[in-house]
């Protein structure tokens, strides 16, 4: 069987980390099995859907590297939904309802007050039309057909359809709710696996009967535990953590994807530089049912670790023009975001201001300048300089190294000084030592 998965966002906002995780897992599962990954824009909500968000979703997926094999929009498929609806109506599987939201809410309260589940009480036969009121339409569940499936994450699932409300599939104004168009799309597009959050489990139960009522096979399901914040409870911040914000913060796509591919699994979370590597060992058997804890701080740590191992070729196009491969190798271990690399360029080739130092440190640097001037710079100048100053000043550890680092780089920390001093060069190093000593 050729695997086909789909990601079906609504263009009513930007993608956030929960959406990205769903898209990623659909993408990885399809790629692992040599299948196809579809992007379906669920834009039937005409009032809230916008062209701008449609474009933003595609831009975000492209930035993340999650390319799709086919693009569809529900707004272009309304004819197919009408056909499916009429087919179900002719078979008696959808029926008109005339209750108002207020009447339904009152009935739910009455049932709850009696200690009964607030399940829609199906009328006998067709609802009687109400003058001046347009109907909404419900799908008639088959109460004699138990619903069950073997979920790829949650295991065996069982639902008694008599305990479920017949779901509304079409509103009074003729617009569609999610359930039926999604089923028709999945049938037409040959979707074999539906991967989504566990909040859709009850939707899957009623959609299984919709697939059957339309004479189609039922795809496999994988319902994932939802993301929660690191502090252990559902966080509104997760909904606000969009791709645009992550890009502005300097997060590398693969740092984010490395985390989202493996949180909630038995696999180690580590920086992975290629989607193909993530796909190679992606397996729903690794997923548990416990909530998956998402922490932006962990993304930041992965971002640093990823940058520290990236080859020059992977970042060259995004570095300032003229940067050499040796400079990337020298500095990459000291940046948390790629944008920070440019901040180091004045240290290598430009001008830095002299640090503010105590009088004894300035005197120490005068001696350092004299010693550096006398060195053979072709034979490991940093080791020779520090050994000479250690012997002449009696300094060691931080009192020896920190004033030198501050004078030469303007920073308290950074790359190893030995290769850095060689890269800065003799004349620039002498100028900085002398400037810091005055």
The DSSP code sequence of 162-224 is GGSPPPEEE-TTS-B-SHHHHHHHHHHTT--EEEEEGGGHHHHHHHHHHHHHTT-PPPEEEEE
User: What are the CA-CA distances from residue 320 to residues 315, 340, 349, 359 (Å)?
Assistant: 10, 11, 13, 38
In a domain, 219, yes or no: no
In a domain, 257, yes or no: yes
Q: Are 390 and 383 in contact (CB under 8 A)?
A: no
Cα 24 → chain centroid: 7
Backbone angles phi, psi at 60, to 5 degrees: -65, -45
From CA 320, how far away is CA 49, in angstroms rounded?
39
In a domain, 65, yes or no: no
| pTM attached to this predicted model | 0.89
pLDDT of residue 124: 66
Q: Tell me: do 277 and 292 sit in the same domain.
A: yes
Q: Tell me: do 299 and 343 sit in the same domain.
A: no
Q: Tell me: do 303 and 342 sit in the same domain.
A: no
User: What are the CA-CA distances from residue 404 to residues 203, 364, 369, 390, 413 (Å)?
Assistant: 66, 9, 10, 12, 11
From CA 209, how far away is CA 144, in angstroms rounded?
11
pLDDT of residue 230: 66
The structure tokens listed for 126 are 């067709």
Binding residue per annotation — 398? no
Q: Tell me: do 317 and 248 sit in the same domain.
A: no
Number of residues that make up the chain? 438
Domain final residue pick, 292, 322, 349: 349
Q: Tell me: do 329 and 299 sit in the same domain.
A: no
pLDDT of residue 236: 44
Strands 36-41 and 147-151: unpaired
Q: Are 208 and 164 in contact (CB under 8 A)?
A: no
In a domain, 88, yes or no: no
Q: Tell me: do 284 and 317 sit in the same domain.
A: no
In a domain, 254, yes or no: yes
In a domain, 6, yes or no: no
Torsion of CA 314, 319, 322, 326, to 10 degrees: -60
Cα Rg for the chain, rounded, in angstroms?
31
Q: Tell me: do 320 and 303 sit in the same domain.
A: no
Between CA 183 and CA 280, with CA 68 as vertex, the angle to 5 degrees is 100
Find the CATH number of the domain harbouring 376: 1.10.10.350
Q: Tell me: do 303 and 316 sit in the same domain.
A: no
Question: Which residues sit opposite 7 in a β-bridge?
Answer: 39
Domain that holds residue 267: 230-309
Q: Tell me: do 345 and 389 sit in the same domain.
A: no
Q: How far apart are the first and last CA of the chain?
A: 76
> Can you state the angle between helices 381-393 and 398-409, rounded to 10 degrees?
130
pLDDT of residue 239: 46
Provide the domain count of the chain: 3
From CA 30, how far away is CA 25, in angstroms rounded?
8
Give kind and range of the element (H or E) at residue 345.
helix 341-349
In a domain, 1, yes or no: no
Q: What is the pLDDT along the chain (438 residues), one digit of tens a residue?
A: 799 999 999 999 889 899 999 999 999 999 999 999 999 999 988 888 899 999 999 999 999 999 999 999 999 999 999 999 999 999 999 999 998 889 899 989 999 999 988 999 887 655 667 777 899 999 999 999 999 999 999 999 999 999 999 999 999 999 999 999 999 999 999 999 999 999 999 999 999 999 999 999 999 999 999 988 765 444 444 445 678 888 888 999 999 999 999 999 989 999 999 999 999 999 999 999 998 889 889 999 999 999 999 999 999 999 999 999 999 999 999 999 999 999 999 999 999 999 999 999 999 999 999 999 999 999 899 999 999 999 999 999 999 999 999 999 999 999 999 999 999 999 999 999 999 999
In a domain, 118, yes or no: no
Find the CATH number of the domain harbouring 249: 1.10.1160.10
């Amino acid at each position: 069987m050729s695997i086909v998965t789909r990601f079906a966002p609504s263009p009513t906002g930007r993608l956030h980390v929960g959406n990205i995780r769903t898209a990623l897992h659909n993408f990885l599962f399809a790629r692992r099995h040599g299948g196809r990954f579809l992007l379906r824009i669920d834009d039937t909500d005409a009032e809230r859907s916008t062209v701008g968000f449609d474009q933003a979703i595609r831009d975000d997926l492209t930035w993340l590297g999650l390319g799709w094999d086919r693009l569809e929009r529900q707004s272009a498929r309304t004819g197919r939904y009408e056909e499916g609806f009429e087919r179900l109506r002719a078979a008696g599987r959808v029926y008109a309802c005339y209750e108002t939201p207020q009447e339904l809410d009152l009935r739910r309260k009455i049932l709850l007050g009696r200690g009964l589940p607030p399940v829609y009480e199906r009328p006998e036969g067709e609802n009687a039309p109400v003058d001046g009121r347009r109907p909404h339409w419900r799908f008639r569940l088959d109460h004699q057909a138990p619903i069950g499936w073997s979920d790829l994450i949650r295991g065996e699932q069982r639902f008694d359809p008599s305990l479920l409300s017949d779901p509304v599939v079409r509103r009074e104004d003729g617009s569609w709710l999610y359930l039926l168009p999604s089923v028709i799309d999945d049938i037409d597009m040959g979707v074999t696996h539906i991967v989504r959050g566990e909040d859709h489990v009850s939707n899957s139960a009623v959609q299984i009967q919709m697939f059957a009522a339309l004479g189609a096979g039922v795809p496999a399901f994988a319902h994932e535990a939802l993301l929660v914040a690191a502090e252990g409870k559902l966080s509104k911040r997760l909904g606000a953590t969009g791709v645009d914000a992550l890009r502005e913060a300097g997060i590398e796509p693969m740092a984010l994807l490395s985390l989202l591919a493996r949180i909630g699994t038995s696999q180690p979370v580590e920086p992975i530089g290629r989607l193909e590597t993530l796909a190679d060992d992606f397996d729903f058997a690794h997923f548990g049912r416990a909530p998956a804890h998402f922490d932006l701080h962990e993304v930041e740590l992965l971002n640093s670790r990823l940058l520290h191992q990236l080859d020059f070729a992977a970042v060259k196009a995004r570095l300032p023009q003229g940067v050499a491969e040796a400079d990337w190798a020298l500095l990459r271990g000291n940046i948390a975001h790629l944008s920070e690399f440019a901040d180091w360029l004045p240290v290598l080739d430009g001008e830095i201001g002299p640090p503010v130092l105590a009088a004894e440190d300035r005197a120490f640097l005068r001696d350092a300048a004299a010693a550096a001037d006398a060195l053979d710079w072709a034979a490991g100048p940093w080791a020779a300089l520090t050994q000479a100053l250690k012997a002449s000043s009696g300094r060691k550890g931080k009192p020896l190294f920190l004033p030198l680092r501050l004078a030469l780089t303007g920073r308290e920390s950074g790359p190893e000084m030995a290769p850095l001093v060689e890269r800065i060069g003799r004349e620039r190093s002498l100028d900085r030592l002398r400037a810091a000593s005055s």
